[in-house]
């Protein structure tokens, strides 16, 4: 039987990998607080007849400073719920190991430049919405990316690296809203 998180992925109409490769899933909290590690990123895989699920706190929302100082004219990117097949590849972000966005994703723009998360108009493209560590500054490190604490990012990348010999250096990221 599928774990409950993967049943949620399937209910949302997305693909679930049952071949042993990683299901990489962000669960965005219903609390939606900028600058907080209040979301979860999980790796769920089928291994030796068992489902293995690992999870780490993260922020899938931009930090407060990124909301106030949006670099894009339409506002700060907030990664939209959805499944982004093969869109993330092992690489670097500012010289540190990360998952880099290599295919288009959907974001919702928050353009009013206050500190409240208010997802607005959608935008699809290559925006540099990566999965990376927090560089020691916490969730404020995000300008639209998914951010984890340094040690957690290392553990996530170690777990994903198990896929490389069989499935390569790209992963599908699924983003779910919870609550």
For residue 55, is pLDDT > 90? yes
For residue 107, which of 73, 137, 139, 82 has the smallest C-alpha distance? 82
10 Å CB burial of residue 126 (0-12, 13-18, 19+) is exposed
Structure token pair of residue 58: 């993260």
Residues 129-175 pLDDT 10s = 999 999 988 878 888 899 999 999 999 999 999 999 999 999 999 99
DSSP-derived pairing of the beta strands 146-148 and 105-110: unpaired
% of the chain at pLDDT higher than 70? 100
Band (119; pLDDT cuts 50, 70, 90): confident
DSSP helix/strand/coil, 122: strand
For residue 120, is pLDDT > 90? no
For residue 105, which of 132, 85, 131, 135 has the smallest C-alpha distance? 85
**Nearest 5°: phi and psi at 165?**
-60, -35
Structure token pair of residue 145: 């990316």
Looking at the whole model, is its pTM more than 0.85? yes
% of the chain at pLDDT higher than 90? 75
Residue 21's pLDDT is what?
A: 96
DSSP-derived pairing of the beta strands 131-133 and 146-148: parallel
């Amino acid at each position: 039987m599928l774990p409950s998180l993967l049943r949620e992925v399937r209910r949302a109409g997305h693909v679930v990998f049952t071949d042993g490769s990683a299901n990489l899933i962000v669960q965005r909290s219903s609390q939606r607080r900028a600058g907080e590690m209040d979301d979860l990123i999980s790796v769920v895989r089928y291994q030796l007849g068992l489902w293995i699920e690992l999870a780490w706190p993260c922020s899938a929302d931009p930090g407060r400073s990124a909301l106030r100082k949006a670099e894009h004219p339409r506002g700060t990117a907030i990664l939209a719920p959805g499944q982004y097949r093969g869109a993330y590849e092992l690489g670097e972000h500012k010289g540190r190991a990360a998952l880099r966005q290599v295919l288009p994703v959907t974001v919702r723009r928050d353009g009013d430049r206050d500190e409240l998360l208010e997802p607005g108009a959608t935008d699809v493209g290559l925006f540099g919405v990566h999965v990376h560590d927090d560089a020691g500054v916490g969730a404020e490190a995000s300008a639209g990316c998914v951010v984890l604490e340094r040690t957690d990012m290392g553990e996530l990348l170690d777990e994903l690296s198990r896929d490389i010999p069989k499935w390569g250096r790209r992963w599908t990221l699924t983003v779910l809203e919870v609550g």
